[in-house]
Structure formats: C-alpha cells, structure tokens
Structure 1
Amino acid sequence: MTQRILVDLLGYTGTRGGTETYAREILARLPEALPHVDFVGLTGSAGAADVGGFFPGELRVIPWVGDDKYSWAASEVARAEAVARRSGAAAMWTPANFGPIRRGVARAVTIHDVIYDEVPGGPADRAARAVTAWLMRRSALSADAVITVSQAAADAIARHIGIPRDELHVIPNGSTPPPSDRPDPSALDGLAIDQARPLVLSTGNRMPHKNFEGLLRAIATLPRGSRPFTVITGGRDDDPLASTVSRLGLESDVLLTGWIDAPVLEALYQRAAVYACPSTAEGFGLPVVDALRRGCAVVANDIPVLREVGGDAVRYADATDPAAFGATIAAMLADPHRSAGADEGRAWAERFTWDATAGGVADVLAGLLGRTSRA
C-alpha cells in the first residue's frame, strides 16, 4: 500500500548553505530508498522555484512565506501540521531544524546543531536567538524521532534540549564527490586572484560562529611578504567582512567573492593550497569533508565536531588565537610534503556518503510509517 510523507521545506530559499545541501542530496535518493511512498513538499514563495527543480513529488506552496525566519517560523506554528493532515500524509519530515511545535502527524525532525544555544551574541542577537532556540526545542520535544548529524551535535542536543542521548538518531552527512572532469581553470578568469601566491580558501555564510574575522586576523599576523592570497566565498548580499579587510589592511591579500556557482568553487578547490575552517561551532562541518574529498590540505579550528569529521586527515589549531591559527596555516603552506596527505584525506572523506545518509533517514521514516500503519 502506498503511503504519503510530507517534507517540510518552508525554510528553503536556495541561500542557506549546508542544511539545503542536506535536503537536496537526501531527497534525490529517498524515492529509491522508499519505493512505496509518495512525497509531498511544503515550501514558501521564496523557495518554490528552486524546490520545484529537485523535489520528487507534488508541491504545496504557502505564498506568504518569504526568505525571512519570521514568516518561516509563523508558518511552522500555524500551518505546517494542518497542511500535512489535509494532504493525507502518514508521516512528516522536517530537515532543517524547525517544524511544528505540537504533536500531530507522526514526525521526524533533523536538528543539525544547537548553535543558537551555544554561541553568544549581542543583546539583539540574544533576544532573536532565544525565540529561535525555543521554537527549535519545542519542535524537537514534540517530534516522534529526532535525527542529528554528528556525535558532537547529539551531545549538545542532549545537553541543551534534554532529549536522552540514546533516543537520538545520529546519521552523519555525506560528502559531495568532485566532478568526473577536471575543473576548468578558466572558470577563475573573472576573479582577481594573485597567481604568484599560494591560495587559502574558505567558504560559508557570515553567521558569527563561522569566525571569518578570526581567519582574517590570523592572515594579518603573517609577514606581508609571505602572506598567502586568501579567498572567502559568501552570499549575495553586501559582505560585512569588507570593513574588516580594510581595517586590517588586507585589501591586496584577501578576495571576498560573494556568491559563486559550482564550477567556480570546484576550480577554487583545485587551485587552493590550503582550505581553512575557522568555525567555532558546527553541527557537522561539511566544507571540511568536501575539501578533503578534493585533495585539499585542511587547517581547522580545534573543536570536537571538526575532529570527528576530519579525523587525522586535518591539521588543527585554535582559531580564536589569530597568531596560532596563522602560524599553523603558514606551516602547512611551507610543508613540502603537504600534498602527500591528499590520498589519505580523500579516503577518509569518501567514508561519508549521501547514499548512507539517505538510507539512514529512510529507515527512520519507515519506522514512523510502520508505527502509523499499526495504530
């Protein structure tokens, strides 16, 4: 008998990074993993066009949900559960931290991290984070199953939300394989990259925990004559890091690219001598694994979750200490055997596959469907 699962993609905008990669990669594989399930997607106006390009089923759109978290949160509280019931869904999956806050249709939620509880901010940040953390906590506590992406994230969820550790489903993220064709170096022709210097690459949004200011301060500690050229990709808005680059006098050393497409990113991985991850908090650390899979040497902040996903293939340093992080980057660049670890890094990263992730999520959803059919 065919059953129906509603996938809650109300927060999808095409600009939210790792959580959206997670949803896309898993949804590409769920129909094969759950062949007797029909999928219904729930999205807002901001994400409808993108979601329509990859979602494996019917879409329901709430038009007043835009690209802000406020309309997203309001729709989770007021509409998502009702849409699930009207669609005839036997189960619901919310892959991006937030979902309905009361029990109803059997539901699994993926909590990627509890950074809202762990990363301090200013007064305005703390007020906004308190509301977001409360909604996420209520969604998790009212769910029938909670999935997370690392052992470190599971420890933090148990600590901050209070869900018993042994009730959490830890299903690691996958890594995206590089394209079969070698990246085209000409994809970088539009970027003003200093070809005479080794390149340090870093990627991500501008949330405070990503600690890109820490990376910039680390680069600024290096002697001017031996600084690498650093590229930091970002989003579509004006880059708040620009003022830090200017204040530190790094205009000739740092390129802030804004949003780039996949061929440019692949060419940057190919050109990079080192990938730097200065993040102070993560649920998983997907960019570290993706960089390793492309043969990049990686320097990462020394926190448990990045050690979990990077293993012995990564060099670690305290990214809150600019001198220490800068010295580690410089040492990696100066290491004549740096590239010798590329095969080890690839082998480590290839352990993380989206097929395995999708299979784990499918097992959790199948368990919810089985519980529903027996009810």
Structure 2
Amino acid sequence: MRVLFDGYYWFGGPPAGIVITHEKIAAWRREFPDDALTVALRRRPTPAEASDLERQGLRWIRTYLPTQPLKNMMELSLRVRLGPYDMAWGSNYSPLLGKSAVFVHDALFQSNPEWFTTIERIYLSPIMIAARAASVLFVSSETEAARIVQHNPRLVPTAVTGFGISHALLDANPEPPPALDLRPGSFVLSVGRLNTRKNLATTLSAAVHSGAISASRPFVVVGPANGKADQLERRVLAAIDDGSIRYTGFVETEHLAWLYRNTALFVYLSLNEGYGLPPLEALRLGAPVLVSERPIFRELLRESVRYCDPTDIDAVAQAMKLSLSDGRLPLASDFEFPSWEHMVHTMRGAMTETKGKSRRRLTS
C-alpha cells in the first residue's frame, strides 16, 4: 500500500501529537515493511533530518498552506488525486478529495464548547464536516465513537484503534529532575496540558484541603499552558508560594519517566477525554493512579485504578488520602496495555478493506 501521511506534528507541536505521529508511522514501517510511506511535512527537513527519514525508509514531501486544516483538506487532497498514492491519512482534518483516512481525536469541542476559546472552536469546527469526505474514519475509543455519533449522526466511525505508549518513555533511563530536589515516594504527580478541561484548579484545591501535601511532599504539576485556564484560589496560590505545589512546565523524557516511576500517587482528574494517555503511562510505569469517574477511563483502565467525582473537592481529597495510604491496585489478570502494533494493524486492515467500498461500520 502507498500511503501519504499527515506529518504536521513531525517537527513540533503538542507533545502527544508528536509522539503519536512518530510512533504510528514507525510501527507501520515495522509491521508492513513493503508499504511505501510518504510524510507530508510543513517545512523542508534539514540534511540531518532528511537522512533520518531516509534511514527509517520514509519518503517526504513539503506542504505550503499555513494551517493544518488547509494543508490536509486541500493540499493532501490534490496530492492523493494527482500522486502515486493509494490513500492519504489525516489527523483530525480529512482530505476532501480522493481516497482518504482520517483519525478524529475527539468531539469535546462539540459536547463541551465552554472548555474552548472562540478561536479554538473556529479552528476545530471543520473537523466533522471534512470527516464526511473520508473513506475511513478512525477513533481512539468506543467512548469517543459514541460521542462523535451523538453529535454527528451522519458520521459512522469505521474502527477503534487505541494508542500505544511512547517507546522513548518506556526505554528512557530515568533521572530525577535536578531543579526539583525530590525523593522517591515523596511527591504527588499530575501530567497534562494546563487548561480548563484538565480541572487543575479543583485538583489543587482538593490536594491542599486533604492535608496530604506540603513542602516536603509537594504536588508536582508537569505540562505547558494550553487554551482556557481556571483561576486558582488563594490557598492554592499560597501553597505554590511555600513550595507545596510545584509547576515544572515541559520536562525531558528521562525526567518524566523518573517522576512516573517514583511518585507516591499519580492524579488525573480531567473533566473528560477523548482518550487520555497520561494515566496509562503512569500505570504502565508502576504508579498508583487516581482518575475521574468518567466512561473513557472505565473503558481504558477498568478496575486497576481508583476513581472519584472530579467536581467534588471533599471526595477528591478523601480519594487522595486513601490512595496514598493504600498504594497501587493490582492489575487484572487479563488487563492488556494498548499497543502501536494493534493500532496500525487495525488501520491498515480497515483501509485495505475500504478501497473501492463504502465506509464500513464500527469494528474494534
């Protein structure tokens, strides 16, 4: 199969976007070495970058339009119509012409527009319209498939793929972040983009209310600011001032691996997710995990973590104290972490079956 991949996040962007782009294509190359894979890049690679692409057995083309929606919907459309490709693969925004597969990450901007800025909603609005033109529509979870159909009855997802966990994270040599002065088991951790949906204001208020954090056992927050953010209450600001809450911003992979492996508790109380990789990463690296009582986490994590109502400060505080005292729950004997190999086999199988056919109904 000859596939043209959207490489908008090949060189930069949200950390999760970069990881998914690289891991997906690398897994495809490993599993289907005879396929011809081309990555559409938003800039010309340097000689070293071009050599790395060649070493991976990848071809590349450059796109020129200024945004991902325009690149995917217009440029990839023309490329797949005029070029030697069986199908174009887009992230969120489907090419409008020719054979195309699109991965729609979530419909949260439709179900909960209040979590997004006006500019974000405008930027995201073409996703579901363009998806109608796709030959194949992929989603990450059964939960998200149901949400997409609820808000877009004309769309029928083809397959649920899941995501894997970053090989760079799993293979990293863990090193403590030098600026934080942390001891193993002496801190609580949260990882993710800092915006309203991640519910950080309630999480930190509950952490302070619980009495479980202090300057000697801080709550460590890893992640960049992104989109609409909540206002923090006065006692949380005081906890930041005295070192009971510490923001790190972006951290290197070896530091993130150390934080996951050595935290006393990983807390992820997002109001909702299309998928939610950080709790899976934390669980895979051995951390006790506390997450929101939401269908997506029940689907992915089952009974291997603790749950609480993310909007109830008292309930969150009690759940934090219980989790810190009881430690990690055992994994179910039949629990399996998702893999990139499963993802690409699911995608390629659906793309192969759909060539020359109308979109098939959801399979997983």
Using structure 2 for the length normalisation, give the TM-score.
Answer: 0.84
Instruction: State how 1:34-49 maps to structure 2 within 5 Å.
Output: 34-45=32-43
Once the two structures are TM-superposed, the CA of residue 133 in structure 1 deviates from its matched residue by: 4.0
- 2:325 aligns with one of 334, 341, 350: 334
Q: Is residue 115 from structure 1 mapped to residue 144 from structure 2 by the alignment?
A: no
- 1:27 aligns with one of 21, 25, 28: 25
Once the two structures are TM-superposed, the CA of residue 245 in structure 1 deviates from its matched residue by: 8.2
The aligned amino acid for 1:58 is: R
CA distance in 2, matches of 1:250, 1:15: 31
For these two proteins, the number of residue pairs brought into alignment is 351
Runs of 5+ unmatched residues, structure 1 = 66-70
Q: What RMSD in Å do the two structures reach over aligned CA positions?
A: 3.3
Once the two structures are TM-superposed, the CA of residue 243 in structure 1 deviates from its matched residue by: 6.5
Equivalence for 2:190: 202
CA pair 98-12 structure 1, distance change in 2 beyond 3 A: farther
Q: Is residue 172 from structure 1 mapped to residue 162 from structure 2 by the alignment?
A: yes
Q: Is residue 249 from structure 1 mapped to residue 249 from structure 2 by the alignment?
A: no
Equivalence for 1:152: 143
The aligned amino acid for 1:108 is: A
Once the two structures are TM-superposed, the CA of residue 230 in structure 1 deviates from its matched residue by: 1.1
Equivalence for 2:88: 92
CA distance in 1, matches of 2:93, 2:163: 18
Partner SS state of residue 275, structure 1: strand
Partner SS state of residue 248, structure 1: helix
Partner SS state of residue 313, structure 1: coil
Once the two structures are TM-superposed, the CA of residue 37 in structure 1 deviates from its matched residue by: 2.1
CA distance in 2, matches of 1:195, 1:241: 30
Equivalence for 2:362: none
Partner SS state of residue 219, structure 2: strand
The aligned amino acid for 1:363 is: G
CA pair 194-369 structure 1, distance change in 2 beyond 3 A: same
CA pair 267-351 structure 1, distance change in 2 beyond 3 A: closer
CA pair 286-196 structure 1, distance change in 2 beyond 3 A: closer
Runs of 5+ unmatched residues, structure 2 = 359-364
- 2:122 aligns with one of 116, 123, 131: 131
Residue deviations 1:131-177, cap 9 Å, x none? 33431011211111111111100000111122455x53112222346
Whether contact under 8 Å (2:224, 2:249) holds in the other structure is yes
Residue deviations 1:275-328, cap 9 Å, x none? 111111111111111111111110001110011111000100011222211221
The aligned amino acid for 1:111 is: V
Whether contact under 8 Å (1:113, 1:157) holds in the other structure is yes
Q: Is residue 323 from structure 1 mapped to residue 314 from structure 2 by the alignment?
A: yes
Instruction: State how 1:42-121 maps to structure 2 within 5 Å.
Output: 42-45=40-43, 53=52, 56-63=57-64, 65=66, 71-94=67-90, 96-100=91-95, 102=96, 104-121=97-114
Residue deviations 1:85-113, cap 9 Å, x none? 3332121111x21233x3x2211111121
